[in-house]
Chain A
Amino acid sequence: MLAVFFAFTGEERERINQLILLIATGDRNALEEFYKSIGGRLFSVALGLMRNRQNAEDVLHDSLIRIVRYAKTFNKGTNGYAWACKIVKNTALNKIKSEGYRQGQNIDCFFHLSSGGDLYEERGRALDIKSAMQNLSSAERLVIWLKYYNDMTVREISQQTNMKKSTVQDNIKRAEEKLKLLLK
């Protein structure tokens, strides 16, 4: 089961749960707010699995429909963000298995987005991590992405990327050292 890999405050977590319950009642504004709050994070999960911007957008599109459809089955005592991530993850895996979507080799498409006039906003706060990530090799970027956004273990990353476990471990270690140095 996908664990909660992004820290939210209790208040934020509660708000996400409320939004899912409101979506179940047909509240369109709740859907917009839900998307604004965690759309980017859900996209990151999809991108980690699809490794292709276009396919990740398709996965997010279908996942949001499922979230609307299944919102009424959401148990309010549970973690809404983890629930939404699970839907994204399963939608992505279904597409890979049953619809023949091809997984890309890396997540570099994300870093190749142009900074101006693109579909993706760039507001400056995250520029330091973005440029730090660009100092990593493709393989290092991918393992970091899968570890931090998709909450995968070394074994899972190894299976996903066809790298040996020891290579995955080395890449993670090297990448984290570089990032820590660059982000200091």
Chain B
Amino acid sequence: MKKDYLIKKKLDRMADEIRPPDRVLSGARRAIAENNERQAARQPKRFRAVAAFAAVVIIAVVSVLIYNNVNKDSPLAPNGDQSPSDSQQDATPPPSYKLSELSGRLAGEQDISEITIFDLGDNTAQFYRVYQDKKTGETAVTITKVKSITPQGMDEVLIFADLGGGLQDLQSLKTSGNIYQKGEQKITYTERYEDGEWYTQAYYNKDDTDYYLMIMSPTKGIGEYYFTKIL
């Protein structure tokens, strides 16, 4: 509907002169103060988390060194001789990798056959990354990042497709949490609230491929909405 320029200009001006009472702003001021307090309180927690992580790394390194020393003296592997289980070593070990060990980049046209495109409704934008084995160049993992604008704010969905079947970083999602089922298809998931956002983490297997989901949203229970869209 076309608007009259003069009327529009005058009404804009009238709106600019409206000053609702100061109390209207009180809640927002309090919300900002609470955000700042939470932010300040989070700093020492972060430090503690880093310290804990460093301790775990040190313990792991020391354990490996001790283990190697013990094995060096073991009669089962003297002077580099072959161990008794040659036949086991010949068998191909199951694939195993972490995302950090792969080579990641934004997906291009050449990757179109490997990336999965999800229809998650209107007002969404999708971005794709592929992670390849550094030696063979084969695509092991693809990540689809979806940003979706909703009336409540913005949802962010990360979908990891483990094409190589050896991704170790998110294994814990396979067993923990609740179960969502649609037909034969099951999704295991957890949901938690943190810093004003709902975080949903989920796992499912479809067509022999493991998929891991991470959803960040201001809306509680949004996971099930995306599960129905994805399956």
Tell me the A residues contacting B by CB distance below 8 Å. Answer: 5-7, 23, 26-28, 31-32, 35, 39-41, 43-44, 56-57, 60-62, 64-70, 73-75, 86, 90, 119-123, 125-126, 128-130, 132, 144, 147-149, 153-154, 172, 176, 179-180, 183
Contacts and interface: CB of A to CB of B under 8 A. Distances in A.
Given A74-B154, A172-B1, 8 more contacts: A27-B32, A28-B32, A35-B25, A64-B24, A119-B19, A125-B13, A129-B13, A180-B6
Per DSSP, are chain B's interface residues mostly helix, strand or loop, or mixed? helix
A126 B20 contact: no
Nearest to B217: A73
Q: Which 3 A-B pairs have the closest CB atoms?
A: A40-B18, A64-B28, A129-B10
Contacts of B15: 6, 40-41, 43-44, 149
B1 A69 contact: no
A44 B18 contact: yes
Contacts, number: 132
Contacts of A68: 28, 31-32, 35
A90 B151 contact: yes
Tell me the dominant secondary structure on chain A's binding face: helix
A58 B51 CA distance: 46
A31 to B, nearest CB: 6
Contacts of B4: 176, 179-180
Interface of B: 1, 3-4, 6-8, 10-21, 23-29, 31-33, 35-36, 39, 147, 151-154, 196, 218
Given A7-B12, A26-B32, A26-B39, A43 B20 contact: yes
B28 A65 contact: yes
A111 to B, nearest CB: 10
A149 B28 contact: no
